[in-house]
Structure 1
């Protein structure tokens, strides 16, 4: 399956959508030795790139940004060309969730970003010097960030197709607020044992589980199983 075919499997939605992307082991672990990269493989990385290619905004928690060592969100030329052909800017806008504003303005995430990032935070948080020079700081909520209002603020900027890459607490917050429309889940053929956490954490979701529908299943040559679930 080439990138054009794979893009059709993960096509942009016709309405504003929050799509979450995670990888897990077959026994439910979110990491190996502290990092998600140990669960990934070539097929998963291809889907990862396609999901970034088709989104408007890339949503990530500041803790995950630091822990996973994010760099500037850039795409290769073929994917930039696809975006231009579909009326999109060359790269998605990075949106960082940080209630405390514990971010480094000197990080390549900001200084080398092809699109000016957005930092979603609270009115009580103190911005580090220089942050306003490299990012748009959007304050929503006094001491606790209102994730529903945060998504609304991103959509006011034209970021309708949101891809969330975690971490687990951000995924749990979105789930608790009933904001998750899709889950793209890669299942890695590994048994890791009981040490690692799950792909979701944080607040309890009121109203019980949210029913999902299996949209498609793809099997990679590296035995990675890629699942796409959508809201019923």
Structure 2
């Protein structure tokens, strides 16, 4: 792996340690929550191949995936992605234990699933056997029987919307109220599109995979277009085996003080 941006005199291509990656991707010091997204895309814009992101990923991408999880308080993910990708609980990793303890974090990040209908299989290990209790973000009008099913499975249900849908800004605020301010979303595309449209995404970590797939796969974000494109600026670029690991931050402020 080598750093392309910021430009330095050290252009050595070598394997980075997890500690070096953690330093490179450390969350900024902010007064409020910081929401970053981690996504992968092919050269022609596909976020998936045959419905999953794994085929367009690589070993270095998975190291960064693990690093970003190792730094987060909570991983925010959409219900459809939970179903498609077979999500499991985030696991505690010894490589991040000291760093997490010093930051006052739990040994592993919580997974926060966003779902209006709560049409989820609560027998999955994500709900039945997490090291850190799984959170479910839903609206106030969520089906009562599904709320009870989630709670019976051991999940913590958090209300993040006045109707049936989850409101992105409210979701960020509710998680921050739980002390979860270092937030990481891994999608899917619809959830990321909602965060973008609501103006609550602070940072995008985008892996550009050196592959072409054609077809009609989803982009990294979907949903209604925003009225004005959101402008982000590059913070860093790493490269390994043809993969580009880019990091972009919003240009209008150093981090959002999200409010309800």
Q: Do Structure 1 and Structure 2 share a fold, with TM-score over 0.5? A: yes
Equivalent of 1:165 in 172, 186, 205 = 186
Q: Equivalent residue for 2:34? A: 17
Whole-angstrom CA distance in 1 between matches of 2:229 and 2:64:
26
**What is the CA deviation profile of residues 171-221 of structure 1, one whole-angstrom value per residue up to 9, with x for unaligned ones?**
000000001100000011101013212111012213x1111110011001x
Whole-angstrom CA distance in 1 between matches of 2:166 and 2:27:
27
**What is the CA deviation profile of residues 43-84 of structure 1, one whole-angstrom value per residue up to 9, with x for unaligned ones?**
100000010011111100010011001111113222233312
State whether structure 2 residue 125 is matched by structure 1 residue 105: no
Report the count of equivalent residues. Answer: 230
Whole-angstrom CA distance in 2 between matches of 1:190 and 1:75:
32
State whether structure 2 residue 249 is matched by structure 1 residue 230: yes
Structure 1 residues 116-125 or 148-157, which shifts more?
A: 116-125
Equivalent of 2:226 in 198, 202, 205 = 205
Whole-angstrom CA distance in 1 between matches of 2:158 and 2:85:
23
Whole-angstrom CA distance in 1 between matches of 2:115 and 2:149:
16
Partner SS, residue 62 of structure 2: helix
Q: Equivalent residue for 1:155? A: 176
Equivalent of 1:38 in 51, 55, 64 = 55
Structure 1 residues 122-131 or 30-39, which shifts more?
A: 122-131
Q: TM-score, with normalisation over the residues of structure 1?
A: 0.95
In the TM superposition, 1:47-126 aligns within 5 A as 47-126=64-143
Q: Equivalent residue for 1:177? A: 198
Kept in 2: contact 1:120–1:150 (CA 8 A): yes
Kept in 1: contact 2:43–2:210 (CA 8 A): yes
Whole-angstrom CA distance in 2 between matches of 1:136 and 1:89:
16
Partner SS, residue 113 of structure 2: strand
State whether structure 2 residue 239 is matched by structure 1 residue 219: yes
Q: TM-score, with normalisation over the residues of structure 2?
A: 0.85
Return 5+ residue gaps in structure 2 as ranges. Answer: 1-15, 252-260
Whole-angstrom CA distance in 1 between matches of 2:165 and 2:103:
37
Whole-angstrom CA distance in 1 between matches of 2:61 and 2:92:
16
Partner SS, residue 201 of structure 1: coil
Return 5+ residue gaps in structure 1 as ranges. Answer: none
Kept in 1: contact 2:34–2:202 (CA 8 A): yes
